Amino acid sequence: MKKAIQIFSAVVLLSWVFLAFSTTYVEPDEIGVRRSVLGGVVPEDLTQGHNIELPLFHTTYRLPRNLHYLEFAEGTEGAVPQGAVPGGRAPALELRTSGDNVITVEATVVYEIIDGEAHKIIEEGFGSSYRDKIYSVSRGFLLEHLGTLTNEDIQNPDQREKIAAAAIEPLNVKLRQYHVSVPDYGVVIRRIRFQEAYEERLQAKQLYAVQGQLDRAKQEESAAKQETDTLSKSIDKDVRIKTEEWQQRIETANAETTVRIAGIDAEALAYDKRTRAEADARCAELRAEGDLAQTKAKALGERLKAEALSTPAGRTYSAIVAARNFKLGNVQLNSRDPSFLRAFAGMSAWREMFLATGRQ
């Protein structure tokens, strides 16, 4: 068991040593290029990861994958593109423009290695010098290209951007031989400065131009103010005229409305009187008709009542009512006088009294 552990440990150690001395790791921001003793440069770029490298037989070069920044700036006199890092700093560009003025330009050139062509840089022998060559080509091109600037172009930001954009395509043509390219907006003009004497004259000229523009602006302001005052007075006059016109229209409309209202009131009053008179007359007529109908109904009722009571049944009904309403009160009889008994002791007497008829 112990021997097996020792063998396993030896295998792991040898594997680690083999990987350490026989592979090269390419970082994510790098491009790997392999050269062999027999076959020369391998015609492909190596991507991120471990790549096998036999000692004394393979050599792996690592080039930066990210953007390079080549800066031409003041305060870097004597500086050259650094070989150890991408990009570099170089002295500002001093050139004479088409307007026969000497200017100092601070600019930046952004470039990157063309995808899939890093191995060509090593194959053609530019591995340690391609930055210097790019610096030399870029400087010479910018001195020539920016020499076409006029004084007006220098003072116009939009025109400076157009000239910088126009430099990208021809610069790419010159840099193509070193397998790098400048992306869109890869040429940036950061600052342009004239010589001190000319700068003072230019500032004085610009101040004079600004003063002239200020004077013209004041004149235009005065003219605009006068025009505004005239227009304001004209508007006020038009407003007054329109106000009077509308006031007159309103008064006329009010008068017409008052007349129409008076006419409507008169018509309404006449209609009210006429309608009330007609209603009163109709009411009196209907009331008279109702009184007449009521009188006729009452007379008819009395007649029908008399006719009904004149019949045997009517007389019987009258007798029943009379009998219900008849009260004798306290009656004292004299036993010595038998005439009362003879008069009221029989039913015939009572029937005769209430029915007013003879014997039936």
Nearest of 100, 97, 180, 101 to residue 134 by alpha carbon:
180
* Ranges 82-86, 227-231, 333-337: which has the least confidence: 82-86
User: What is the mean predicted confidence (pLDDT) over 33-53?
Assistant: 78
Tell me, what amino acid is at 308? A
Q: Is the pLDDT of residue 47 over 50?
A: yes
Q: How far apart are CA 354 and CA 331, in angstroms?
A: 19
Structure tokens given for 150:
């006029």
Question: Against a cut of 0.75, is the pTM above it?
Answer: no
User: What is the mean predicted confidence (pLDDT) over 147-172?
Assistant: 88
User: Cα separations (Å) of 64 from 40, 138, 158, 188, 248?
Assistant: 21, 19, 33, 22, 89
Question: What percent of the chain is modeled with pLDDT above 70?
Answer: 77
Q: Is the pLDDT of residue 129 over 70?
A: yes
User: What is the mean predicted confidence (pLDDT) over 114-129?
Assistant: 87
- Provide the pLDDT for residue 186: 92
- φ and ψ at residue 278, rounded to 5 degrees: -65, -40
Give tens-digit pLDDT for 207-226: 777 888 888 888 888 888 88
- Provide the pLDDT for residue 14: 60
Give the distance, in angstroms, between the CA of residue 73 and the centroid of all CA atoms in the same chain: 47
Answer whether 164's CB lies under 8 Å from 188's CB: yes
User: Cα separations (Å) of 230 from 216, 223, 237, 240, 338?
Assistant: 21, 10, 11, 15, 142
Instruction: Work out the mean pLDDT of the chain and round it to a whole number.
Output: 80
H helices of 75-146, in order, are: 118-123, 130-146
Q: Which domains does the chain have, with CATH numbers?
A: 2-64 (no CATH), 68-194 (3.30.479.30), 312-355 (no CATH)
User: What is the mean predicted confidence (pLDDT) over 173-198?
Assistant: 88
Nearest of 169, 32, 168, 188 to residue 113 by alpha carbon:
32
Question: What percent of the chain is modeled with pLDDT above 90?
Answer: 17
- Provide the pLDDT for residue 110: 94
Nearest of 5, 56, 53 to residue 33 by alpha carbon:
53
User: Cα separations (Å) of 148 from 99, 151, 160, 163, 192?
Assistant: 9, 10, 11, 9, 14
Give tens-digit pLDDT for 304-331: 777 776 777 777 777 777 767 766 566 5
